[in-house]
Amino acid sequence: MKALLLIDIQNGFCPGGNLPVPDGDQVAPVANRLIDSGKYDLVLASQDWHPPGHGSFASAHPGKKPFEMGMLSGKPQMMWPDHCVQNTEDAMLHPELNLDGIDFIQQKGQNPTVDSYSAFRDNDHAALTGLAAHLRAEGISQLDLCGLATDYCVKFSALDAVEMLPGVKVRFIEDASRGIDPNGVEAAINEMRARGVAIIDSKEVLA
C-alpha cells in the first residue's frame, strides 16, 4: 500500500497568502500529476487550521513582529503572521489542487498554546493528530511526502513519519515542494536524508 501525503498546500502559503512560500503555487500542478498517476492507493493532505489569535501569531504578542523569535508556553517560538485561520480563504487548500483526488484531510495547529508543524503531532510531541494511526490502519508500506514548506512542515512531517511509522518507507518528493529559506531547505534535505528519508523527484514516481 502506497500513500501520498500533501503537506499544507494552502492559499496562505502561496503567493497572495498571509505567509507565502516563494513559488508555493508551483507545487499544485506537480501534486496533481502525482494524484492522477494511479501510483498511490491513498492520497492525503494536511491543512494548517489555526484558531483566531493562535499563540504562534506575532499579533498575539504585543511588541513582537513576524519572523522574530518569541516564547510560547515557555518555549522558543518563531512569531508568524496571522495565517491559515479556520474557515478563512487563507486556510483553504489551493484551488488548483485536484481536491476530488484527495481521500483524507488531516487538520493541525488547532491548539492555541502550541504550534504544530508536523502533520502527525504538535511541536511539543504531546498531542497526536491521529494521522499515524490512520496510516497504520490502512496498512501503508510506503509514504511519499511533498508540499509546503520544505524547511518547516514538510521536514517535521517526514521526520515524524520515520519515527512513528516503523517499517514504512518514507520518501520526500523534492520538485513537488518549496521552502522558505534556501539554506534552510538544504539543511532540511540533509537532515531528512540522514534520518533515512529517500530524496526523490516526481519523475521517479511517474516513470
State phi, psi for 55 to the nearest 5 degrees. -65, -15
Q: What's at 87, amino acid-wise?
A: N
Active site residues: 8, 108, 153
Q: What is the pLDDT, as a whole number, of residue 105? A: 98
Full DSSP string of 132-176? HHHHHHHT-SEEEEEEB-IIIIIHHHHHHHHHHSTT-EEEEEGGG
Q: What is the pLDDT, as a whole number, of residue 73? A: 93
Q: What is the pLDDT, as a whole number, of residue 4? A: 98
User: Could you report the per-residue pLDDT of 10-40, keeping only the tens digit for each?
Assistant: 999 999 999 999 999 999 999 999 999 999 9
Q: Which of 119, 132, 201 is nearest to 167 (CA)?
A: 132
pLDDT above 90 covers a percentage of the chain that reads 100
- 179 torsion bin: left (phi>0), alpha (psi -120 to 50), beta (else): beta
- Segment 112-130 shows an average pLDDT of 96
User: Could you report the per-residue pLDDT of 158-185, keeping only the tens digit for each?
Assistant: 999 999 999 999 999 999 999 999 999 9
Q: What is the pLDDT, as a whole number, of residue 82? A: 98
Location of C-alpha cell 504562534: 56
Q: What is the pLDDT, as a whole number, of residue 72? A: 95
What is the CA 161 to chain-centroid distance, rounded?
12
User: Could you report the per-residue pLDDT of 46-96, keeping only the tens digit for each?
Assistant: 999 999 999 999 999 999 999 999 999 999 999 999 999 999 999 999 999
